[in-house]
Structure 1
Amino acid sequence: MKTVRTPDEQPSDRRGPMGALARPLPRPAEPDPDNGFPGAAEIGIPRRKPGPLKQVVRRFALALLVLAVTVLLVWIERDGYRDSVDGNLSFLDAVYYATVTLSTTGYGDVIPASDSARLMNIVLITPLRVVFLIILVGTTLEVLTERTREQWRLSRWRSTLRDHTVVVGYGTTGYSAISTLVAQGVPRDRIVVVDPDAEAVAAAMQDGLVAVAGDATRADVLRRAEFERARNLIVSANRDDTAALVTLTARQINRRAWIVVAVREDENSPLIRQSGADSVVTTASAAGRLLGVSMLSPNVGEVVEDLLHYGSGMDLIERPVDKRETGKSPADCRDLVVAVIRGHRMLRHDDPEASKLATGDRLVVIRSGPRRPDPMGPRAHPSPVS
């Protein structure tokens, strides 16, 4: 019987330790003299955009404000104006003069002589002129203004971004990682998503994140995400060979960043670490272990799942030792201690060396809290598999 495998379940290439990495790598793309580098990254900064009706109403209100200011100026300087009908400039004449001037209609050949005709010109004809100008000129002005505004927002974003987190891949894994970061208090404007898929970039912007469209294996794409000044990098690519190339590229750009990489195969973990990753998470085996635990003991599986979802009940967190806890046993702490981090070593809670907590130790504890909704909200939009 023939077994059908999904793309994620295809066996790795045994010709090399990295499976797909044993295949020859593609040559770097040459720059195009007209279009620059192929697949150049584009940065999208999320913002709230008003609806079309609201934009029209806003423009119409601005046009009325300009009209009012013009009328006021004409009325203040009314002694310098002359009316060809009666020689005197009334307030209605000032409003009429302002309307025909702003609308570039012209005056002198055909003019409303009566007050009722001029009132109709002001109440009915002038709004039509304003609507016409909005339709005719509004699109061009909007494009010019929008480009200027986007350039200003991009420059301001680049100048203020420091010690942020870059997430490569906005699929299921990347989305869950960002949701955990946001739940623990990381501001959304300190997270930058990099993904080559346009739908994923649009989804990230819809979730209030800055997104860069491009291939993260390219150094220029990571530089567009300001990775030189980043503190952390999360790599959740669809393929392990892509994750390795992203890690190599990132480590060359930023030597101090903390890099966490998700891989699918256990055998690829050592090579990812050699590429420069500080921490490697094997998603396939971790999910498999959780499946096995849930099969043998559903309650244990539920507890582990609860611990992995920050803010959903019991949380597994790392914190420094409190002054009041120094010299005490882990069992005497206010939280349930799982492990003690001393220097670069991790000690279990029952390790004799961890029997007395010292200043500078860090504790991995289980803390119980109220259940809170997902800080990223329900994810209704489609997303890649990564």
Structure 2
Amino acid sequence: MIRRLNPADRLTDRPDHSLVGVIRMPDRPESPARAIIKRVVGATAALFVAVLIVYLDRDGYRDVNGDGLSFLDAVYYATVSLSTTGYGDIAPASSSARLVNVLVITPLRVLFLIVLVGTTLEVLTERSRQAFRIQKWRTKVRNHVVVVGYGTKGRSAVSALLGDDVPPSHIVVVDTNQESLDSASSIGLVTVHGSGTRNDVLRVAGVPNARAVVVAANRDDTAVLVTLTARELAPKAQIVASVRERENEHLLRQSGADSVVVSSETAGRLLGMATSTPSVVDMVEDLLTPDAGLAIAERDVEPSEIGGSPRHLPDIVLGVVRGGRLFRVDAAEADAIESGDRLLYIKKVTPPDED
């Protein structure tokens, strides 16, 4: 029996502020000292405004001395008012006592208030800030990559994207496991809590405006449903899906996947090769690791290379991409480079500490 979603269950029908907890923007690191300084500056600004208001309207105030309000009186009145202290039967009457109250007692009251209600205020402020950032992100997110599933395969896919210089802010992770989402958020990724099989969850993740979708689900049937849903939302996006069994590969392609990686066969093939030619496995692992050593990359052809053979270039060219099709370097179609081609080649990657 298929359960219909109530309008309140559809994420796309919710206002942005109610998506806090579903969408999580990466935290911006801030030192405790900086956070306290910002609060102190804000409190000082509020105090200054209050003092200015009281002093400009000083003729409307009276004190027990009956001699009118001086500027120091205005500061004193503002500080005791903002700190919610009020007036008791013991009140400083001399200027020196009031100055001490302003410079010593009031900072202690502010410190007490920060400790007492700081946590509550921080939660409320953080929620409002997250809602604002979510609203801003949803209106501007374009040409990003959505990774559905942040297990072993999803983490490796994200590592490869980051190794290819894709900014963390351009990667969105969708998963139902909160620990996985926390891990993704800790490295600066935007996360969406929900099932990638749901249309509204993928919409919230910005799939209609994404340039690519990586389907890294743990089950083949889930991968098929995610791919179908993503293709419906983004007809022109590049969809790359992982499948455990070769027999399910055609289902992913029929569902709209542009590329399908058979994880079990690929891992098994490498395991078999490692028994006889372990150096080959090391080389393949090196090519698949974007951080150092050698890596497979793709680039546009340069004007001076048009008409020449890709086999005669300084780069080690593996293939030519023409019109969306890949031709191996030994294919007849790749004998001469044409305008608009892209070259699949091996590049040397310099570790960041060696730059």
1:152 pairs with one of 132, 135, 152 = 132
1:234 counterpart SS class? strand
Letter in 2 for 1:313: G
Whole-angstrom distance in 1 between the partners of 2:235 and 2:6: 30
Give structure 2 stretches of 5+ with no counterpart: 12-18
Q: Residue deviations 1:314-359, cap 9 Å, x none?
A: 1211222221111212222121111223335433323344222222
Q: 1:111 is matched with which residue: 91, 94, 103?
A: 91
Task: Report Cα offsets for 1:206-259 as digits up to 9, x if no partner.
Answer: 110000011111111111112111121100111111111111121222221111
- The answer for the alignment partner of 2:211 in structure 1 is 231
Confirm whether residue 199 of structure 1 aligns to residue 179 of structure 2. Answer: yes
Report the Cα distance in structure 2 between the residues aligned to 1:319 and 1:71, rounded to whole angstroms.
63
Contact kept in structure 2, 1:29 and 1:37, CA below 8 Å: no
More displaced 10-residue stretch of structure 1: 277-286 or 361-370: 361-370
**Which is further off, 209-218 or 173-182?**
173-182
Q: Structure 1 stretch 359-368 or stretch 91-100: which is displaced more? A: 91-100
Identity percentage over the alignment? 51
TM-score computed with the length of structure 1 as normaliser: 0.79
Q: Deviations over 1:158-193 (max 9, x none)?
A: 100112111001122111111211222222211111
Match of 2:241 among 261, 276, 283: 261
Name the one with the larger helix percent: 2
The residue type equivalent to 1:208 in the other structure is: G
Taking the TM superposition and a 5 Å limit, the aligned residue runs for 1:296-307 are: 296-307=276-287
- The more displaced of 360-369 and 220-229 is 360-369
Separation in 2, partners of 1:372, 1:109 = 67
Q: Does 1:36 align with 2:9?
A: yes
Tell me the residue number matched to 2:253: 273
Q: 1:354 to 1:140 in 2, by over 3 A?
A: closer
- Give the Cα–Cα distance (whole angstroms) in 1 for the partners of residues 326 and 10 of structure 2: 46
**Which residue of 1 is the match for residue 302 of structure 2?**
322
The list of structure 1 runs, each at least 4 consecutive aligned residues, that deviate by more than 6 angstroms after superposition, is none
Separation in 2, partners of 1:364, 1:286: 21
1:120 aligns with 2:100: yes
What is aligned with 1:171? 151
2:38 matched to which residue of 1?
A: 58
Shift of 1:89: 4.5
Name the structure 1 match of 2:189. Answer: 209
Q: Quick one: distance in 2 between partners of 1:135 and 1:115? A: 30
Q: TM-score w.r.t. structure 2 length?
A: 0.86
What's the counterpart of residue 16 of structure 2? none
Provide the alpha-carbon RMSD of the alignment: 2.8
Unmatched 5+ stretches in structure 1 = 1-26, 374-386
SS at structure 2 position matched to 1:85: coil
Q: How many pairs does the alignment contain?
A: 345
Local SS of the residue matching 1:261: strand
Question: How far apart in 1 are the matches of 2:289 and 2:138?
Answer: 32
Q: Identify the residue that residue 286 of structure 1 maps to in structure 2.
A: 266
1:130 is paired with a residue whose SS is: helix
SS in 1 for 2:344: strand
Deviations 1:287-321 (CA, angstroms, capped at 9, x unpaired): 12222223222222211111111241112112222
For 1:117 and 1:340, the matched residues in 2 are separated by 84
8 Å contact kept, 1:30–1:37: no
For residues 175 and 207 of structure 1, the distance between their equivalents in structure 2, rounded to whole angstroms, comes to 11
Question: Which structure ranks higher in relative contact order (CA pairs < 8 Å, sequence separation ≥ 6)?
Answer: 1
Q: Secondary structure at the match of 2:172?
A: strand
SS at match of 2:173: strand
